[in-house]
């Protein structure tokens, strides 16, 4: 008997999970549903899914695995709708949301129809979106948090891991509250801080246009996460409000300490403050994939002459190395310019570095 999978939301994440399931379970029939019908049709044309459905309710009642790959607020609504359906006994339902507390509470509504809900959060993504950006290796070596909410869910953990084996992810079992606090510390709070920094700079730029000129380069890099989807982050903050309020109180205390440190001007204390932060950051794993998407950038010195950019991209294309973003940082007459290339993975970045060096280009991993 065919095993049936329903993926609600076939964008970057849902599409990548579909590809990973197909890789390991080619016999499974994967149906996709998306409120943006074109996403579903594109995923079907690209053979990411086997078929596109116009109604998720009809597909849900026959599915063995249901994956909610939609925004966190929509996940709650879909759980409530699924709870009203005669789902298959012991069907597994999971999500991909970056907050878990409220979603897990909502999932209790499913207990009456014997469906099993296991919260999920694959900690990987991309600045791109849509099924056209889906990649089978998107979650490879990334942490994939699972949050079961009942003894029945505990029993189904191994089954869900088997379904998701093709992701190549590292599965971690966590309590929902712990998950929300940890991701709040290393992802949600940094996004709020980056956004706040950008807003401060914007205010100063309105008074002095030179601020805007000098906010290029490094400033853009350290605040890159502030360019994430406003709608997505609005929902995440609403979902993880409790953890974030606690963390913001802690952050305000830290800023009070920093203000006192700056006021005192004590050389030893200032040095120790920066040195301690440097020591902790430098000790973080370089190749591990965490809660915030890493930027796999490679900087390349280029001369100001016609065709140099196309030459670089042709070298990489010949080696089938995909570039996710490209930006010219500086090119002036008689001065080396810098090309910043962004890649999907560390492996791609290293391959690009090797082949570009072989063609005589000077490259750097950091600027």
pLDDT in tens, 249-296: 999 999 999 999 999 999 999 999 999 999 998 887 765 666 556 667
Q: Where are the alpha helices (DSSP H) in the chain?
A: 12-24, 37-45, 56-60, 72-82, 101-106, 151-163, 176-183, 189-207, 209-214, 218-222, 230-239, 241-264, 267-282, 308-318, 346-358
45-49, 113-117, 155-159, 231-235: least confidently modelled range: 113-117
pLDDT beyond 80 at 248: yes
Helix axes 72-82, 230-239, angle to 10 degrees: 60
Q: What are phi and psi of 212, to 5 degrees?
A: -65, -40
pLDDT beyond 90 at 10: yes
| Spatial contact of 269 and 261, defined as CB atoms under 8 Å apart | yes
| Spatial contact of 355 and 347, defined as CB atoms under 8 Å apart | no
Q: Which two tokens stand for residue 341?
A: 């290339």
187-196, 269-278, 291-300, 345-354: least confidently modelled range: 291-300
Query: What is the C-alpha to C-alpha distance for residues 349 and 342, in angstroms, rounded to an integer?
Result: 8
Q: Which two tokens stand for residue 149?
A: 């909410």
Q: Classify domain 4-174 by CATH number.
A: 3.40.50.720
Cα dihedral sign for 163, 169, 171, 175? negative
* pLDDT value, residue 66: 97
* pLDDT value, residue 332: 42
Mean per-residue pLDDT for 179-195? 93
pLDDT-derived band at 366 (thresholds 50, 70, 90) equals low
pLDDT beyond 70 at 335: no
Phi-psi label, residue 327: left if phi above 0, alpha if psi -120 to 50, beta otherwise: beta
* pLDDT value, residue 288: 60
Query: What is the C-alpha to C-alpha distance for residues 32 and 11, in angstroms, rounded to an integer?
Result: 10
Helix axes 241-264, 230-239, angle to 10 degrees: 100
Count Cβ neighbours within 10 Å for each residue of 280-295 and write b for 16 or more, e otherwise.
Answer: eeeeeeeeebebbbee
Q: Please spell the DSSP secondary structure of 50-97, one letter per residue.
A: SEE-S-HHHHHTT-SEEEE-S-HHHHHHHHHHHTTS-PPTT-EEEE--
Domain 178-282 has CATH 3.40.50.720: no
Query: What is the C-alpha to C-alpha distance for residues 75 and 225, in angstroms, rounded to an integer?
Result: 23
pLDDT-derived band at 132 (thresholds 50, 70, 90) equals confident
pLDDT beyond 70 at 331: no
- This prediction has a pTM of 0.76
Query: β-strands 170-173, 335-343: how paired?
Result: unpaired
pLDDT beyond 60 at 1: no
Query: What is the C-alpha to C-alpha distance for residues 274 and 244, in angstroms, rounded to an integer?
Result: 25
* pLDDT value, residue 133: 80
* pLDDT value, residue 333: 43
24-38, 126-140, 342-356: least confidently modelled range: 126-140
Query: What is the C-alpha to C-alpha distance for residues 357 and 301, in angstroms, rounded to an integer?
Result: 11
* pLDDT value, residue 124: 80
pLDDT-derived band at 51 (thresholds 50, 70, 90) equals very high
Q: Specify the CATH superfamily of domain 296-364.
A: VC0802-like (3.30.2130.10)
Query: What is the C-alpha to C-alpha distance for residues 301 and 362, in angstroms, rounded to an integer?
Result: 6
Q: Residue 21 CB: number of other CB atoms within 10 A?
A: 24
* pLDDT value, residue 123: 86
Query: What is the C-alpha to C-alpha distance for residues 221 and 82, in angstroms, rounded to an integer?
Result: 42
* pLDDT value, residue 88: 92
Mean per-residue pLDDT for 184-201? 93
| Spatial contact of 67 and 6, defined as CB atoms under 8 Å apart | yes
Sketch the domain layout of the chain as residue ranges. Answer: 4-174, 178-282, 296-364
What percent of the chain is modeled with pLDDT above 90? 55
Q: CA separation (Å) from 270 to 266, 283, 364?
A: 6, 20, 30
């Amino acid at each position: 008997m065919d095993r049936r999978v329903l993926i609600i939301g076939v964008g970057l994440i849902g599409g990548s999970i579909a590809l990973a399931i197909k890789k390991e379970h080619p016999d499974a029939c994967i149906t996709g549903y998306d409120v943006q019908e074109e996403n579903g049709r594109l995923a079907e044309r690209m053979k990411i899914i086997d078929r596109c459905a116009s109604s998720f309710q009809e597909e849900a009642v026959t599915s063995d695995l249901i994956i909610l790959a939609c925004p966190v607020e929509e996940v709650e609504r879909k759980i409530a709708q699924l709870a009203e359906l005669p789902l298959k006994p012991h069907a597994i339902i999971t999500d991909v949301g970056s907050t878990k507390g409220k979603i897990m509470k909502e999932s209790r509504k499913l207990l009456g129809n014997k469906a099993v809900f296991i919260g999920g959060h694959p900690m990987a993504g991309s600045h791109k979106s849509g099924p056209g950006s889906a990649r089978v290796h998107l979650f490879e070596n990334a942490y994939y948090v699972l949050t079961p909410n009942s003894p029945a869910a505990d029993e189904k953990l191994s089954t869900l891991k088997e379904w998701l084996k093709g992701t190549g992810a590292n599965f971690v079992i966590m309590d929902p509250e712990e998950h929300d606090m940890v991701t709040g510390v290393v992802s949600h709070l940094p996004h709020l801080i980056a956004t706040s920094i950008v807003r401060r700079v914007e205010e100063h730029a309105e008074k002095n246009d030179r601020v805007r000129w000098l906010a290029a380069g490094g400033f853009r890099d350290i605040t890159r996460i502030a360019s994430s989807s406003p709608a997505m982050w609005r929902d995440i903050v609403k979902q993880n409000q409790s953890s974030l309020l606690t963390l913001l109180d802690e952050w305000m205390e830290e800023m009070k300490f920093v203000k006192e440190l700056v006021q005192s001007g004590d050389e030893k204390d200032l040095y120790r403050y920066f040195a301690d932060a440097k020591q902790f950051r430098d000790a973080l794993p370089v190749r591990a994939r965490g809660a915030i998407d890493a930027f796999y950038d490679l900087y390349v010195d280029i001369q100001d002459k016609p065709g140099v950019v196309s030459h670089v991209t042709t070298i990489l294309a010949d080696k089938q190395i995909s570039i996710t973003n490209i930006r010219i940082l500086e090119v002036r007459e008689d001065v080396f310019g810098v090309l910043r290339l962004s890649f999907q993975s560390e492996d791609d970045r290293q391959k690009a570095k090797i082949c570009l060096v072989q063609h005589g280009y000077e490259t750097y991993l950091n600027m």
